[in-house]
Chain A
């Protein structure tokens, strides 16, 4: 497969709610010989992007859109797909532009936009690819450009050895870098230049971060080592980590009140609309209340398996709290599929990656911690989690076995806030609806399922066990930390019910617990 870099045929996705501009931009981009897809809604754009993860090279989006803030879209795209995003607006205020840059935009164009500005957008794509290539060890371009020339133009020569070390501003040089070296065995791995942070990959990332335990110590090298993904480079991890941190801090800011520990008021408004698919995996850091930030939803799929635990939901930033699969320690079966967790969830500390989160993660992402803490406050929080709609997974899939396996439920250390998060672990849900739930984890609140979002590889290893609750009607009953002492369960009432808006009464709860959760 001959790959090369060429601006021609660059696949651009334009998102703007203004139909006039959309028409104009389409024409302009076509004139640049790009392949253009237009979209009038941010949500629709995300859907398109997720459907074809590798279908676009760059996204151009307006800042002000009715259904979703352009910056949010930017975050999603950046985290989930790692595509370059250009923002547009008629407003050139410094603060706005800065916001764009902070959210990861690679450029900010002012309307009216000129042809010459669009003619050079391919440079952003190239730059990103080069970065990725550089990350690959060996200085050999490992994966050709994802997108290939759309026409037969051979921009690049072939099979040259390029040394990364040389830096030339010369475009030819850069082209060569992107050249897919067919003679190079390493390139046969056909890795894409762009690293797509799939759910599974992100999960590994989160796991690794958790294992390291402390955000500050979690350097890219360490994370990379822990992740044990051969083709991933330190730079890939570094840039992802940066985004993740940004994401978390953003969540953190937005969440002052929503903190779970605060008694989850926000949970009240469940985002029921969206299924709560696991998408909203809030990663609960073991006990960290960190959940404040809204880490990428981690689908903590594998409860018992730490590595699989953290499934990061495709960069849904907003989403939810990532569940720390550690919860597998038993508690959560039901990770709420909150995908839709609305913003309030964000505020919930959950998730995952909060610094504290990392720290606490010593053991399995023990969800258990939350269980322990849960105490009523948690429960309330949990309950409130609107996202739990047990839509599919809500189901309590409690994989009791799995859960029980993880003895390390660290209940004690858990923060309440964190615990709430844990509940979210939807690992159990995954069983049946793994994919759907994962999808539902989607980032946006509004969107209930990002179809591709979860890619899903949700490693539902934990689900492997019997999944019981999965559609057994224990939907509400979500995970409970079995492994922890039964008392814990009782402490955690309703929250744990995934997708269950209502609070089961204590009797019911215990009953459910008995029935479902403790399956051994």
Chain B
């Protein structure tokens, strides 16, 4: 079971869903905070859902205030770096590029992609954490490698 957990985690890295930041978080996990990583991830998804909502609303309005959108995305990107959400971060960067170029179409497209990546990551991490919990606390703290 533990090995499975490790494999799942490894695949997340290999597929580029997560980057080193996630490992840093794992390093922070200790006896005082045995579920630290999961807590952080939960917090991230909660907060990022709110940010996504803001952006959705802004886009729906159709006015395309690029400055505001860029600002929202800046926030979102900062948040996404916290857990190492690599693919999500990439979409964020692209979105901001489109904002700077004033490309509304590009923004919309990228944002759809971003939401997809975000949802995918969420599912994968939920799955991962579930497995890790089942496998036992020690395992989760261990780094893959």
With a cutoff of 8 Å between Cβ atoms, the chain B residues found around residue A112 in the complex are 21, 24, 81-82, 84
Residue on A nearest B44 in the bound complex, by CB: A20
Report the minimal beta-carbon distance from A144 to chain B, rounded to whole angstroms: 31
Residue contact A90 to B24, C-beta cutoff 8 Å: no
Report the minimal beta-carbon distance from B78 to chain A, rounded to whole angstroms: 4
The SS class assigned to the B binding surface is: helix
B79 near A: Cβ within 8 Å? yes
Interface residue count for B (Cβ, 8 Å)? 22
A residues 83-126 near B (Cβ < 8 Å) are 89-91, 111-112, 114-115
Residue contact A20 to B43, C-beta cutoff 8 Å: yes
Report the minimal beta-carbon distance from B113 to chain A, rounded to whole angstroms: 20
A111 CA to B47 CA in the complex, in Å? 17
Residue on A nearest B19 in the bound complex, by CB: A112
A129 CA to B76 CA in the complex, in Å? 37
Report the minimal beta-carbon distance from B34 to chain A, rounded to whole angstroms: 12
Q: Which of B21, B39, B47, B71 contacts A18 (CB 8 A)?
A: B47
Residue contact A23 to B39, C-beta cutoff 8 Å: yes
Residue contact A111 to B81, C-beta cutoff 8 Å: yes
Residue contact A24 to B78, C-beta cutoff 8 Å: no
A31 near B: Cβ within 8 Å? yes
Q: Which of A24, A62, A89, A90 contacts B28 (CB 8 A)?
A: A24
A114 CA to B75 CA in the complex, in Å? 19
Residue contact A20 to B75, C-beta cutoff 8 Å: no
Q: A28-B28, A115-B24 are in contact. Are A21 and B36 (CB under 8 A)?
A: no
For B14-31 the 0/1 string (1 means CB < 8 A from A) is 000000010011011000
Which of A20, A31, A90, A115 counts the most chain B CB atoms within 10 A? A20
Report the minimal beta-carbon distance from B46 to chain A, rounded to whole angstroms: 8
Q: Which of B24, B43, B47, B77 contacts A114 (CB 8 A)?
A: B24
A398 CA to B77 CA in the complex, in Å? 54
For A1-45 the 0/1 string (1 means CB < 8 A from B) is 000000000000000011111011001100100000000000000
With a cutoff of 8 Å between Cβ atoms, the chain A residues found around residue B24 in the complex are 112, 114-115
Q: Which of B33, B39, B74, B82 contacts A64 (CB 8 A)?
A: B74
For A304-345 the 0/1 string (1 means CB < 8 A from B) is 000000000000000000000000000000000000000000
With a cutoff of 8 Å between Cβ atoms, the chain B residues found around residue A18 in the complex are 47, 75, 78-79, 82
A19 CA to B50 CA in the complex, in Å? 12
Residue contact B47 to A20, C-beta cutoff 8 Å: yes
Residue contact B82 to A21, C-beta cutoff 8 Å: yes
With a cutoff of 8 Å between Cβ atoms, the chain B residues found around residue A20 in the complex are 40, 43-44, 47, 79, 82-83
Residue contact B36 to A27, C-beta cutoff 8 Å: yes
Residue on A nearest B77 in the bound complex, by CB: A90
Q: A31-B28, A112-B24, A112-B84 are in contact. Are A24 and B74 (CB under 8 A)?
A: no
A109 CA to B33 CA in the complex, in Å? 25
A402 CA to B62 CA in the complex, in Å? 61
With a cutoff of 8 Å between Cβ atoms, the chain A residues found around residue B47 in the complex are 18-20
Residue on A nearest B84 in the bound complex, by CB: A112
Report the minimal beta-carbon distance from B54 to chain A, rounded to whole angstroms: 11
Residue contact B27 to A111, C-beta cutoff 8 Å: no
Ranked 3 nearest A-B pairs via Cβ: A90-B78, A20-B82, A112-B21
Interface residues of A (CB under 8 A from B): 17-21, 23-24, 27-28, 31, 62, 64, 89-91, 111-112, 114-115
Interface residues of B (CB under 8 A from A): 21, 24-25, 27-28, 33, 36, 39-40, 43-44, 47, 71, 74-75, 77-79, 81-84
* Extra pairs beyond A19-B47, A62-B78, A111-B82 (17, CB < 8 Å): A17-B75, A18-B47, A18-B78, A18-B79, A18-B82, A23-B39, A24-B82, A28-B28, A31-B28, A64-B71, A64-B75, A90-B78, A90-B81, A111-B78, A112-B81, A112-B84, A115-B24
Pairs across A and B, CB under 8 Å, 8 listed: A17-B75, A18-B47, A20-B47, A21-B82, A23-B43, A24-B40, A64-B74, A112-B24
